[in-house]
Structure 1
Amino acid sequence: MRPFRISKAQARRVPALGAAFFVALGLFAPQSFAAPAGQASAATPPATKAAAPRAIPVPKSPEATTGGRPLAAEDDAKAATPKAAATTTPTRAAKQFSAAAAGSTCDLSAFTNASGSALVANVKAASLDCLNTLYPLTGTDAGKVFGEAKMVAVADALRTNAAAYPGDNSASTGQLVQFLRAGYYVQWYHSDVVGQYGPTLQTSIRGALDAFFAAPHSTDVTQANGETLSEAVTLIDSAQENARYTAPVKRLLGDYTTSWPKSMTDAVANTKTVIEDGFDQPAYIAALQADPGFATTMSSFVTRNASLINGGDMVTSIGILIGNLVAHDELKAQGRPIIKDLVTRFPLVGATAPLTMNLVWFTENKDKGNCSVYGLCDLPTRLPPLVLTNERTCNANLRVRAQEMTAQQLADTCTSLINEDALFHKVIQDNGAIPGDVNTNLEVVVFDDYYEYSLYAGAMYGIAVDNGGMYEEGNPTKAGNQARFIAHEASWLRPDFQIWNLNHEYTHYLDGRYNMYGDFDAGMVTPTIWWVEGIAEYISYSYRNVRNADAITEAGKKTYKLSELFDTVYDQTPDANVNSNRVYRWGYLAVRYMLQSHPDDVKAVLAKYRTGDWNGARTLLKSTIGTSYDADFASWLTACAADNCGTLPPVQTAPLCTLPDTRQFDKNCRRDNAAATTGNYSYSFLYLPAGVKSLTITSAGGAGNADLYYNGGSWATNSSYLAKSANQGNGESLTITNPPAGWVYFSLYAQQGFSGATVTTTYTTS
């Protein structure tokens, strides 16, 4: 993902790679990534909440919302455009009206060739089914049907018609409304052919809507009236007259009860668009400022109808919009007490969570620094135990906290990470953690799906959520620092269970601990992204034994030279699709090629990275290597595109020890999966013949922090030893010259509980 290693103190976090581009690029291998937007705030900000992270336009989770604000469940992102007629059920509007002109045909020429009263007659005679087919019009036909003069004629006809509106569609009022809605919709998208709508139409549409909402029968609580009323409410927004008609909207919200017929309920639901889009209009803000009763009516609508709240209902959708009050200075005084009441009244979890947590989002992002006003300053500590109700400690260094995971899923996740750890060390062949790096403990937080992640992760951890997850490294040199990967289940892959980006992100944790000196900022002094993202992709795909089809496809294109990939940075191009390809797919290819073809060069570069010698590493890549591998890389790409990408050179490891006592070693052998809990030992011994000149004992891999002790002829402990190696992590090595013949003893002491370590012994004789 991107900035994967970030200083928590400086509030830089790594948004995990998502899959916003899986449609455009065919990406659906579950290791892709994304970016920020929003932060929590407080009158006295809690220590766990920091300034907003850097926003980077990289790929997102398939379900990520634009802007990162969680919406009502089942809701879509805010639509600032006129709303089209239903497209999933084209005949919906026709079926709504009991008096529609059933059976009439739809002749486009009736609208393109007619004007004035003739056009009005044709519109009134058409079925609503027919009128719904006008929304997709483009080109010449769009201009001929919806020019301003024709819209004025129909709007004037609606004004006359509405004056005697009977409360049903017997006078074809619905057809006039539907034509006008279609016209505004088409003109919004195709003003180049329809032309601009000006003051003349505005005067006419206001006259039409004034007349309709003034008609006594427009307030009838009947199914017949609701069928027309619901479309007229939407027409308010289509015509962008939201500010002028706050009174009818307020009336609907104030009068609504759960006994209303469906069509009247639809009319209330349609006020959502009018209210939501209205907040973008200065005149609307002025109207609400002049009438504080509108805000209290919205609040009362929510509290009176709380029994309807299930997360995806109209009460939730409309209630969320109350948050917009604090987004405008003129309305903050109205909004603050209302929002405080709602977030106090309704639970933060369960069916009311979409309502309360969206309102929390508004307080954090639109009224920053005032969490005490709402009683929300303690959310970072209050929410986790309410939301993350499942937990498993994998080992002393790894814990998973989850919203909804079974015991088996938790166990499998632990196994996946622990085994990946072993592969990482086998590939990298490191000698332990970077000196001074104390990020020995990782917490993996898993929300049930992207929506739940979007609801809670921002308030809990102060991160942006318009992405696929976030890895927070924090300060790797600070004792007690908590590294954390905040993730969500890839719900779109169900019934298969998968945590989005899990293995890729875990590689970032390991890479930051064992390869990259310091924090994120330190590693970004020179371009290191080819390695940072490339190794994460390589380990993830290799561990999961998944063919990286997208990278192999890219190989055939030969878009980049290897020397160019050493220059890769985030935001390399303004095109996020192109940059995502270069960072992840081409990063994978560059790292795979270098590991397979030039492992010694990789070791040399990593030796520089591990000490923070970024300029030295840059010199190796750009001067020592330079363009010398470009031709070979191009040949390798050709082979890789044909599915012959090669394999890593074999890692030279000692064979497994075969002696029956699992504590006993021999001349040149290893034992895997050594482990001990904090404060305890993994004891070992071996028999040395006379004449041994040099004995080497090493430990590597796994998780935790084991120190190696050697004590000659008696058991080795941290208080009784002849030699020791006490690096951070499990990478330890001792070489004993001229050891005595006979039994010798050594042990791994768990400075912090460890597991998965490999211990190897070798010796030479004269």
Structure 2
Amino acid sequence: MPPAAPDNGGAQPPAKPQGQQGQIARKAARTDAAAPAYADCDEAKLGQLSGQALVRYVASVDGTCMNRLFQADSFSYRVVSPANMQLVAAEARQRATAWDGQNANGLWPLAVFLKAGYFLQYSHAKEVGDYGPAVDQPVMQVVEAMAANPALWNVKAIDSRGDRDAWFRERDARQSVAETLILADSVRKAEYALPLLNRFFGRYNAAVKDNWARFALHPMQTLLFNMHYQPEFAQKVERGQLDGLVASLAGLTRAGQPAFADEQMFLNTLRETGRFMQYPRTAPQAESAVAQYLKGEKFGAAWAEAVYALKKLGKVPCERYGICQAEQELRASLFPNRWSFDNGKLVFETPLSLAEVEPLYYAMKQVQTQLFRVAGTKEAVANDPNEKLKMVIYGTKTAYQRFQGLLNELSTDNGGIYIEKDGTFYTFQREVPRESYLTLEELVRHEYVHYLSGRYIQPGMWGTSEFYRDDRRMPWYDEGFAEFMAWSTSRDGIKVRGHVVDVVAGGWPNSFLEPSRIMRSSYSDGWDFYSHSALWFYYLNQQQPGKIADILAALRADDVKRFDALVNSMGGDAALVSGFRQYVDQQVQAAKSGQLGNTSTEEGVDWVAKDKWQAGDASVVEAAMRRSLPVGCQVWADGETSALRRFECGGTLPLSASDNTRARQELDKLLDGALQSLVKTGGVNNLMATNCSATDYDFKRKTAVLRCEGPLGPAGSAKPQPPQTGELNLAKLSYAGPARCLRGQFEGVGGVERYQLVQAPQLGRAAVSDWGSFTYRRDADQPGVADKMTVRLSKGAQSRDVVVELNATPRDMPEEQCWAQAG
């Protein structure tokens, strides 16, 4: 695991203090001090200054200014040279010693500078240069100076509630502590770390929980976690070198929540104590401290941590504490609802109601269809095992953080994660913007792309193929493609998300990245490459969609050489690069002027509740769609494994284009136009959630395969829309009678010139004349069930299909009498 990334939402294995919980127990010293005064961020100075001038500049700015150094490029490599690291560390040591917990003194940005150096050096040692003891020792002296500073232990944390100046002072002080102490994990050498950990946890207790030391807990827990994976750590434990540390941790764990201002820090301590159950020498002491929390609230946070530690870390026989069924019982409590769709191929396990899940489902269908369009295929890769996808959605972020480790042994340092080997995606409902700037829907869309890519584009399991042997080959595709596809729509293409552009807009134009650099991104570069990569896909999708299809085809073929050649070719194409810069500039200007939104699936625009769909019969949908697309339709999903009924339609489209780019553009235009028209004039609202894709281009036969999919209402339902001004329609859409026979004359609206029966009724026989008279004879005996037929109304070149409801009563009588009562 690399050293810590920029403080922009990423976290190390133990969770960070969360939200207002981190404020509850703080009883701060209030003074009249003003907010810190920082110099402006100036990237030019950062790159041009050297020696003490560089050190003075770094110490003068807000700590976030140093986040620029986490970008892996020649600029950053030069700035965090070993010589500069030594100079900055020397200054940081003095300021750590003098830090008083009340006033900003430049320590925060100096510490971030040092952290950025280690972050880059971890994966770019050749470019940055060797650090070794010459850098490690002065950096650890900074940490030791802060750890020994009386202000850390004796000064209460500033209470910033309701005071803007105090908020800035509190932030600077808190970040000074956290960013300085985490440097011990950046160095990550046991000879430095273990004595520091022993001293820190030996000193921390309930008496200091409201002081600045509380913000040192998380960095120290992170450091301790990573020490378990250092060489000979187990041997050190067995030799008794960590006895004092384990005794301190066990004592803190027994003291419980009252010893901590933040619940998460207590839970982290409980888990880190439990981790010492892995070693025979310390297992009894750790187990005793942890097991006491099984007596507390069942399914509570401490109970869950105790069960996790005992079963997963200590491997304690579950019978000893009666916790063999703990996970099953917890799952039943957390996920009472199981919603199954698409004949069981999509399953949600969640406390969310069907009404809350429905918009997520419709969003996923939009993403799936657009991916088929982009890829040019809807066939799964060979031997893919994940025909079904399970989505586990926790009811709250708190539940996700508390129970994900116990139930699935997965980290919670994310907003959600897809595990391909299990065919399962995990996330949580969230409060926006307090808990996340991304809505649940945006997160689901992104992660669903990962599933679809694994099933339809990338053979094998994620991370296992030849493609992943180079850790800079695939991240731009994996994350950029998911971000790009996230705002897929039914009939308006793939939209640009404001959240993507905002990342680049803040530093524009200096934030521009050449495609050749984007396509060599790594997860160690921070998070911004997600957005840069998505913008590259947006641009290609607009200008050269065939190139995306080529990239996906190389992935499907498991052809690394072809993939690399395409990447190199695109990265070296001067015209593409120039066009991309102009495109990003346009998007930045659009973002700054408020023209870009973010993905959302709106009720009444993209979907309605399942009992509100007007057509429950696939034949009705087919009749409507055939006005614009050559399809045949059928019921596709129904029954116990499909919470929503679905139809699918198939057909063949003519194709005039002779290459992938033109084919995509031609067929997207055709399908979007047809769907937009059908939504306005199709006569049934099912078409608003209908998605269509054209795939499998045959350039010899000049054809493409058409597939559409959408919702159906309850079986037997058909609720025609009333006439609208200016449209061809019928004044009356339902006819009834006391016998099996009906006779009538249609009343056209909008100047109808001709009537034609295009979809016969299912329960009887009908005839329609060109001028609109009709007869109907009910044959089937299904009392209470209406029949229906579809009639095409024409006026010149204009036409529209409408559904007519036929409520003939299935009463037996002589035929002559039946027609006498027909009307």
Normalising by structure 1, what TM-score? Answer: 0.48
Higher-RCO chain (CA-CA 8 Å, sequence separation at least 6): 1
Normalising by structure 2, what TM-score? Answer: 0.45
